[in-house]
């Protein structure tokens, strides 16, 4: 914080910012809720994007979208480089995904969230030119024990020993994708169980880093931008994350190299986001292990959010009730 003749200039995000950001994720979740189970992921995503952009415009910060949403599938998005906020207050990098789990939302499945991650300006890795990253996430027990360069069996056995668990008690979260067939076999051959997820690997990574969930590790190839957002949360939880970029084409490799990314490097938490003052905010769209989804209860809409901050090491849950009439008109109530 710097005091000038014209007032106080906040150079770093402060704790009040978190409660402002949660209004934006709540808005995105509520506006997308009528589309849950309706089979149109772009309609759900578009409603969430519009709501999030509108609320971010009221937040007192100077935010630049380093990691935008929708680039992989041409969905509506808050685009990379877009400036959000009032232009006053701290300068921040932000990663946004108005719905992490658009397919889950469209199908009416669990674990879809609306999320924002924030860090000091210039501290987030811009991995947008390479869509995919091999990632591994655990709780604090994995620090100095787990390494993405080891086999999955070695990592499971080492983490089990660090946690004081039997290998057959370990549960490993993996995206259920054809590319992970061999990985899934290796996990089971090691004696551990899998928790196969359809979408939304940010929530899976956070659950792996938390101390009070059934997931011990999240592993596999997922979105690079999601890896950076997950790192913001993992730093707040005191957990462990590593990633290696996985370009799918020569063109993507060339674009990544031109952007200064490297492909033989293991990106640690501080490489993904170097700030020690990160925020991660998520509101449930559909029910999940991390947060409950949007729920209509008579004249009210109930939301549940989680707010993480690395500098203070705090985890807060925000349960809010919103008057339906303030959010949705009669034509929009069909899904709630």
Q: How far apart are CA 319 and CA 257, in angstroms?
A: 43
Predicted local confidence at residue 3, as pLDDT: 41
Predicted local confidence at residue 4, as pLDDT: 37
Predicted local confidence at residue 8, as pLDDT: 41
DSSP 8-class letter at 110:
S
Q: Give CATH 3.30.540.10 domain extents, the chain.
A: 17-121+277-332
236-284 per-position pLDDT tens digit: 999 999 999 999 999 999 999 999 999 989 999 999 999 999 999 999 9
Q: Which residues sit in the known binding site?
A: 45, 69, 97, 100-102, 132, 177-179, 199-201, 223, 226
Q: Which residues sit in the known binding site for Mn(2+)?
A: 45, 69, 97, 100, 226
Helix axis angle for 152-163 and 181-189, nearest 10°, is 50
Q: What is each CA distance from 270 to 211, 250, 275, 276, 301, in whole angstroms?
A: 21, 27, 7, 9, 38
- Fold classification of 17-121+277-332 (topology level): Fructose-1,6-Bisphosphatase; Chain A, domain 1 (3.30.540)
Q: Which residues sit in the known binding site for substrate?
A: 100-102, 132, 177-179, 199-201, 223
The pLDDT of 110-128, averaged and rounded, is 93
141-186 per-position pLDDT tens digit: 999 999 999 999 999 999 999 999 999 999 999 999 999 999 999 9
CATH of domain 132-272: 3.40.190.90
Sequence-ordered alpha helix ranges (H) in the chain: 15-32, 41-56, 102-107, 152-163, 181-189, 201-209, 224-237, 250-258, 269-272
Cβ distance 224 to 95 under 8 Å?
Answer: no
pTM score of the predicted model: 0.88
pLDDT band at 69 (very low <50, low <70, confident <90, very high): low
Q: Give CATH 3.40.190.90 domain extents, the chain.
A: 132-272
């Amino acid at each position: 914080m710097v005091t000038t003749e014209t007032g106080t200039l906040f150079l770093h995000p402060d704790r009040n910012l978190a409660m402002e950001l949660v209004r934006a994720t709540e808005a995105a979740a509520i506006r997308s809720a009528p589309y849950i189970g309706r089979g149109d992921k772009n309609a759900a995503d578009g409603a969430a994007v519009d709501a999030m952009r509108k609320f971010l415009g009221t937040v007192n910060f100077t935010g630049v979208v380093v990691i935008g949403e929708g680039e992989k599938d041409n969905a509506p998005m808050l685009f990379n480089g877009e400036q959000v906020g009032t232009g006053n207050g701290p300068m921040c990098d932000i990663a946004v995904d108005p719905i992490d789990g658009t397919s889950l939302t469209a199908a009416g499945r669990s674990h879809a969230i609306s999320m924002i991650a924030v860090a000091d300006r210039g501290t987030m890795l811009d991995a947008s030119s390479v869509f995919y990253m091999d990632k591994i996430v655990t709780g604090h027990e994995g620090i100095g024990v787990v390494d993405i360069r080891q086999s999955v069996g070695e990592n499971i056995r080492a983490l089990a020993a660090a946690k004081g668990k039997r290998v057959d008690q370990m549960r490993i979260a993996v995206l259920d994708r054809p590319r992970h067939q061999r990985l899934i076999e290796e996990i089971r051959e090691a004696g551990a169980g899998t928790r196969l997820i359809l979408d939304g690997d940010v929530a899976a990574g956070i659950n792996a880093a938390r101390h009070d969930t059934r997931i011990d590790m999240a592993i596999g190839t997922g979105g690079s931008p999601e890896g950076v957002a997950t790192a913001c949360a993992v730093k707040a939880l005191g957990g462990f994350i590593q990633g290696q970029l996985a370009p799918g084409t020569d063109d993507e490799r060339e674009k990544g190299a031109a952007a200064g990314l490297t492909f033989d490097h293991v990106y640690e938490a501080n490489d993904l986001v170097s700030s020690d003052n990160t925020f991660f905010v998520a509101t449930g769209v559909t029910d999940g292990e991390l947060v409950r989804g949007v729920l209509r209860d008579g004249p009210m809409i109930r939301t549940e959010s989680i707010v993480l901050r690395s500098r203070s090491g705090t985890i807060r849950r925000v349960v809010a009730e919103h008057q339906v009439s303030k959010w949705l008109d009669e034509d929009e109530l069909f899904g709630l």
